[in-house]
Amino acid sequence: MKAIFLRTLSLPETFLSCLIITLFALISQLDPSFLQWEVQRSLSSHIWELAIIAIPMTLIILTAGIDLSVGSIMSLSAITAGMLFQAGSSMPLACGAALLTGTLGGFLNGFFIARMRVHPLIITLATMATYRGIAEGISQAKPVSGFPAGFTRLGQDEWLNLPFAAWVFFIIFVSVFWVIHRRALGLHVYAIGNNDTASRFSGIHVDRILIGLYTFSGFASALAALLFVARRNTAKADVGMGIELGVITAVVIGGVSIFGGRGTLVGTCLGLLLIHETREFVSWHWNRDEFILIVLGLLLIVSVVFQKLLRHKQNSS
Amino acid sequence: MKKSNPRKMHHRFVVLSLLAGIAFIFTACSPAPPSDASSTQLVSKDNNKKKITICLIPKKKGLPYFTSCAKGAEEAAMELGNVELIYDGPTDGSPEKQASMIEQYTLKGVDVIAVSPNDPNVVAPALRKARARGIHVLSWDADAIQDSRDYFVNQATAEAIAHGMVNTMVKDLGGPETRADVAIVTAYLTAANQNVWIEHMKTHIDQQYPNLNLVAIKPSDEDQKLAFKVTQDLMKAYPDIKGFFGISSVSFPGAAEAVKQAGKTGQVMVTGLATPNSMRSYVEGGTVKSVVLWNTAELGYLTIKVGEALATGKLKQGDTSFDAGKLGKKKIAGDQVLLGDILVFTKENIHQYDF
């Protein structure tokens, strides 16, 4: 019993929960108006797109990979939808094309990584530049606006008291959670992250899984892009600029090891919650945009160092 | 079976601790509000007037241009006494961040939001939401989409900018009697602002200065190197050319550099629109005699004045003029409050300005 207690205590999720509780306790002392449901619900609209991308990113990092191109895939998908709409296509068609573009972009990443054996860091760094460049090229960096109300409602309306994007996130989260914890695929993802070669020899379809994961990441990015465009009523080549940093930060703060094989989806969710609340509260309370970066940086350092210490202790005991 | 048991225990423990945390949050929430309420009461007792909170949102925080605007805004807030000024904007100049900030301030329930939009389309939904909540919305420095704001605090009309540039050119050349060929180096041939200025410049030259002869209008595509090259080419094509207008913050330094490198400092005049810092070396070196812009501190000052007047009901729809304190009476044209005058930076006064 004591052993279980100690082990639970050293889980990154426990540590994160404590951190989140501390944060909320601090907020309730400093500025309780921030905790009103109305405020929380409205501000939550700033995180859902990032959260949707964080799900495939967690799986990819679990396989010891990384996808830096998510922001650029968002941009390319947004521009695809925008340009098609401007050219007179119907909105559902434009959205379908955008999802297809994103999925294809992710598939190309996976193809190069699995079949050509290019390191994910390098290939997604390359496609990050390429996809963004294409988006800027075909749009001439001009914004597309004036989408039909039926589409923008997806980004602005609420459904059962939560933004529509929140439900998209929950659906994806629950399905992926089920696959990871109840299907063999989940074990395979962890196995690839722990030892790629051993997994191949044990008959796991490593290539197929990797291609699948990066394709999923592309699809999720395209979905996030459409939600973003609907929310802001503007498609532009700078959509999703820098979002990969936010996504990877959330996943790493959530206790997912960048070397693969270790971490959980629940951890990622806690990481997202911590980052979101910190970011919004800092700008809510201090009205200083520059503080956010400092606080987030510190948060990342603290949580990573702490988790490392805990893991070290756990291994030595 | 034996293996799955401790795992389940882990999960149960995590869930329990989370629940405990949430319970803690809610209990911690309730006692706090009274202390906050009493502190706000203290504030309102101190000065009987109701505090008006105004958020001034620049395109990008940390740019010297906007920092100098904020100085004027602070001065206005101090002078008024009943204004609490929040100056904050995205440090990376991202329109999405700007929209998020507007949403936050809307939820906080400030009285006035004044924004210089990076992208009018992106901030429009957020601004409309703010207006629906009864918040007064101003755009300043750059306009927002018309139905998403109450007033636009406009630093200078197109006419004032165009006339200002032509008048300083004529003065720099030595008066209206001097016969001279001049050329315009613009941004893009499709740039909306620049094209309006060019039209006003043409009519002003036609009506007032028959000795000025506009020989060419060339685009620089917002590329300083291209502006440099275009100016060089024009000097070759028109050896007698006496003056260049660089009518964007990029084409102006490009044109000035070309004139300087051609060794024609003092023979060929360059004037245009840019911030004093970007042109300081040319002004001090003598290549450029005057730089045209507006007084940024006064722009910030006027924005806060208008914001306060709007929130207190002093400024009403249909008013045609506005009493802007130390700036005197300012004209209101429809839904635009005009700062009006341009400011000319020369060797004599440029050291007073740092932006």
Question: According to the model, what pLDDT value does residue B31 have?
Answer: 38
For residue A236, the distance in angstroms to the closest alpha carbon of chain B comes to: 10
Flag whether residue A29 sits within 8 Å of chain B, measured between CB atoms.
Answer: yes
CA B197 to chain centre: 18
**Residue B15 pLDDT more than 70?**
no
Residue B166 and residue B267 in one domain: yes
The class level of CATH for A35-316 reads: mainly alpha
Residues of A in contact with B94 (CB under 8 A): 238, 241
Same domain, B176 and B287: yes
CA distance A236 to A221: 15
Question: pLDDT (tens digit, 9 = 90+) per residue, B246-270?
Answer: 998 889 999 999 999 999 998 999 9
Instruction: Quote the CA–CA distance of A159 and A172 in Å, as a whole number.
Output: 17
Q: How far apart are CA A226 and CA A96, in angstroms?
A: 10
The residues, ordered by sequence, that sit 6+ positions from A145 with a Cβ below 8 Å of its Cβ are: A233, A234, A235, B121
- Could you tell me the CATH number of the domain that includes residue B210? 3.40.50.2300
Taking residue B18's Cβ as centre, other Cβ atoms within 10 Å add up to: 17
3 state DSSP class of A46: coil
Same domain? For B94 and B121 the reply is yes
The most confident of A154-163, A287-296, B208-217, by mean pLDDT: B208-217
A158-159 and A162-163 strand pairing: antiparallel
The angle, 0 to 180 degrees and rounded to 10, between the axes of the packed helices B224-237 and B251-261 is 50
- Yes or no, beta carbons of B33 and A32 under 8 Å apart: yes
Q: Which residue is listed with tokens 């009987």?
A: B48
- Are residue B173 and residue B258 in the same domain, yes or no? yes
Supply the pLDDT for residue A217: 97
What does R_g of chain A's alpha carbons equal in angstroms?
20
Rounded to whole angstroms, how far apart are CA atoms B171 and A249?
58
Q: Do B25 and A25 touch (CB under 8 A)?
A: yes
Q: Which alpha helices (DSSP H) does chain A contain, by range?
A: 2-9, 12-30, 37-44, 48-62, 70-86, 91-114, 120-139, 149-156, 164-182, 184-194, 196-201, 206-232, 243-253, 265-286, 289-316
Contacts of A280 in chain B (CB under 8 A): 104
User: How far, in Å, CA of B72 to CA of B66, rounded?
Assistant: 10
Decide if B59 contacts B117 (C-beta within 8 A). yes
Strand B336-338, strand B151-154: pairing: parallel
- ipTM field: 0.80
Cβ-contact B227, B251 below 8 angstroms: yes
Element (H, E) at B151: strand B151-154
Give the closest residue to A83 by CA, choosing from A129, A127, A136, A131: A136
**Are B135 and B50 contained in the same domain?**
yes
Does A17 contact chain B (CB < 8 Å)?
A: yes
DSSP alpha helix (H) spans, chain B? 4-29, 32-46, 64-80, 95-108, 120-132, 158-173, 192-208, 224-237, 251-261, 276-285, 296-312
What span, in angstroms and rounded, lies between the C-alpha atoms of B246 and B249?
8
User: Are residues B88 and A289, on separate chains, in Cβ contact within 8 Å?
Assistant: yes
For the stretch B61-108, pLDDT in tens is 887 888 889 999 999 999 999 999 999 998 887 888 899 999 999 999
The pLDDT of A275-296, averaged and rounded, is: 88
d(CA A128, CA A67): 9
| Dist. CA B283–CA B79, nearest whole Å | 34
User: For residue B185, what are the domain limits?
Assistant: 158-293
| pLDDT tier for residue B11 given thresholds of 50, 70 and 90 | low
Residue B39 reports pLDDT greater than 70 = no
Tokens read off for A225? 């892009």
**Is B113 contained in some domain?**
yes
Query: For residue B320, which amino acid is it?
Result: T
Average pLDDT over residues B110-125: 90
The answer to the question of residue B68 being in a domain is yes
Residue pLDDT, tens place only, A28-69 = 999 888 998 888 988 998 999 999 999 999 999 999 999 999
Last residue of a domain, one of B238, B259, B293: B293
Does the pLDDT value for residue B326 go beyond 90? no
- The verdict on A24 touching B (C-beta cutoff 8 Å) is yes
Which residue has tokens 């009103």? A36
Say yes or no: B167 and B289 in one domain.
yes
Residue pair A97/A197 in contact (Cβ under 8 Å)? The answer is no
Dihedral sign of CA atoms A104, A105, A106, A107 in order: positive
Q: What pLDDT is attached to residue A92?
A: 94
Residue recorded with tokens 């530049």: A129
Q: Are residues B178 and B265 in the same domain?
A: yes
Strand-pair category, A234-235 with B83-87: unpaired
Instruction: Tell me the HSE value of A160 on the side-chain side, using a 13 A CA sphere.
Output: 5
Distance CA B182, CA A217 (A): 57
The sign of the dihedral angle between the CA atoms of A107, A110, A115, A116 is positive
CB contact under 8 A, B25 and A35: yes
Contact predicate B149/B127, CB 8 Å: yes
Contact check, Cβ <8 Å, A233/B121: yes
Residues B281, B246 share a domain: yes
Residue that wins the pLDDT comparison between B297 and B318? B297
Sign of CA dihedral B20, A262, A312, A245: negative
Answer yes or no: is pLDDT of B6 > 60: no
What gap in Å lies between CA A197 and CA B130, rounded to an integer?
A: 56
pTM of the model: 0.77
Higher-pLDDT residue of B208 and B12 is B208
C-alpha B144/C-alpha B139 separation (Å) is 6
End-to-end CA distance of chain A: 15
Nearest chain A alpha carbon to B93:
A289
Q: Looking at beta carbons, which residues of chain B come within 8 Å of A4?
A: 6, 9-10, 13
How long is chain A?
317
Q: Which amino acid is at A289?
A: D
> Structurally, how many domains does chain B consist of?
2
| A76-99: pLDDT as tens digits | 999 999 999 999 999 999 999 999
Q: Are residues B253 and B322 in the same domain?
A: no
Size of interface A-B (CB pairs under 8 A): 106
Regarding whether B315 and B236 lie in a shared domain, the answer is no
Please determine, for residue A25, whether its predicted confidence score (pLDDT) is greater than 70: yes
Say whether B88 and A287 touch across the interface (CB within 8 A). Answer: yes
Q: What is the mean pLDDT of residues A220-230?
A: 96
Q: Determine, for residues B122 and A39 on separate chains, whether the beta-carbon distance falls below 8 Å.
A: no
